[in-house]
Structure 1
Amino acid sequence: MTEHDAVAGPARRPAVRRTVDTRMPTSAGDFRAIGYRDPTEVHEQVALVHGEVTAGEVLVRVHSECLTGDVFGSTHCECGEQLSAALRAIVAAGAGVLVYLRGHEGRGIGLSAKLKALRLQDEGMDTVEANLALGLPVDARDYRLAAEILRDLGVPAVRLLSNNPRKVAALRRYGIRLVERVGLLAEPNEENLRYLRTKRERLDHYLPHLDDVPG
């Protein structure tokens, strides 16, 4: 899906600062791992950069931290699969960036609250209902740091690996020139099918492959 109506916002000086830049070989390919600190935030951040990203339309994944999916391989969500697929796609494209946003666990509610929400989902609630039942926002994530990191890296235009239209809108609000949203679809399984359908029906995620799943 192409979105060529992006308008770059005014230039802003990034509040984040680089702390380290080093080579990081991965199973997907070689990257530069660039660490960042923001004096207004608790968490350190990291961007994985492959190839030349200061020219053209750059493939970018802005990935929210998900300990359960990224590290433990939880099948309740598709986060771990998306992380691996994004790294492979960036290498296949020859260049790109993965911004890994810490502090986004559970769409920004934190790890313990996320685990409580998972328990409520096992009891019958969907992911939106569970957050609200805990008195928490459905999605508390902010993408300012991602936008500042992309500006610091000199990325001129973004092809965003995402199914989330709200992420697209948020990055544009922070002045990122986003020219295309590229789908990042993971094969559903028995554990995450209801979760994915909730994301499509209640959070507007673009998940057309769910149409082919029975039930």
Structure 2
Amino acid sequence: MGSNNEVSIHEAKDIPADASLPTEFGNFRIRVFHEQSTKLDHVALTLGDMIGPDPVLVRIHSECLTGDAFGSLRCDCGPQLKSAMELIHEAGWGCVVYLRQEGRGIGLREKIKAYHLQDEGVDTLDANIMLGHPADARDYRIAAEILKALNITGVSLLTNNPDKVQQMNNLGIEVIEQIPLVVGVGADNIEYLSTKVQRMGHSIDLESINDKK
């Protein structure tokens, strides 16, 4: 969850960390923002100009090595990232903010420990708590700072997460529209997604999920 402490981002001034990035979903630009306090590098993928009459289509995506890179079916992260990029391509403009907040903010090693507990029957929230972490340790202040650096203050946010919407509004990014992103649902992540709905209030139609069991 977010706090009131300020965060600081830094961009290289000598040779900018800003380049074209051709992808299967179009020709994006990749721009790296360095977070001073954590020493982590976060990414903004943009397509088109960020100035227009309509709110910018935005996905704030937290790093998931297992889902994004390895195609894990335990979560819906990989399909959500790909779907967001595809939707931005179809719209002709938009932004993906990719945050280095693996495992809902607890890091890769702790996430895999949580997976071990889940293999033994613990749900995704209780697994984090049993390891001494919050159910969701993510902090969206850095995302808000990145969006402001891109002159984005009003967004159509691709998310199922009501906490993300609330945090962004509180941080000065107006969420004009929340667009659910329900993709990648399957037998291996039904319980995970059901827990997110029942215990975290995510905007996912449980009946449509249960139909896939």
- Which residue number corresponds to residue 3 of structure 1? none
- Which residue number corresponds to residue 18 of structure 1? 11
How far, CA to CA, are the matches of 2:10 and 2:129 in structure 1?
Answer: 35
1:1-215, aligned counterparts within 5 Å? 15-19=8-12, 20-55=17-52, 56-102=54-100, 104-208=101-205, 210-212=206-208, 213-214=210-211
> Does the CA-based 8 Å contact 1:14-1:151 persist in structure 2?
no
TM-score (ref. length: structure 1): 0.90
> Does the CA-based 8 Å contact 1:21-1:35 persist in structure 2?
yes
Aligned AA (1:18): E
> Does the CA-based 8 Å contact 2:80-2:184 persist in structure 1?
no
Deviations 1:26-72 (A, max 9, x none): 11111010111122222111100001112231000000000110011
> Does the CA-based 8 Å contact 1:69-1:77 persist in structure 2?
yes
Aligned AA (2:70): F
Alignment size in residue pairs: 201
For structure 1, the 5+ residue unaligned runs are 1-12
How far, CA to CA, are the matches of 2:128 and 2:32 in structure 1?
Answer: 31
> Does the CA-based 8 Å contact 2:169-2:175 persist in structure 1?
yes
Provide the identity percentage. Answer: 46
How far, CA to CA, are the matches of 1:115 and 1:150 in structure 2?
Answer: 30
How far apart are 1:17 and its partner, in Å?
Answer: 2.6
> Does the CA-based 8 Å contact 1:14-1:149 persist in structure 2?
no
TM-score (ref. length: structure 2): 0.91
Higher relative contact order (CA 8 A, sep 6+): 1
Aligned AA (2:207): D
How far apart are 1:129 and its partner, in Å?
Answer: 1.2
How far, CA to CA, are the matches of 1:107 and 1:43 in structure 2?
Answer: 15
How far, CA to CA, are the matches of 1:174 and 1:33 in structure 2?
Answer: 23
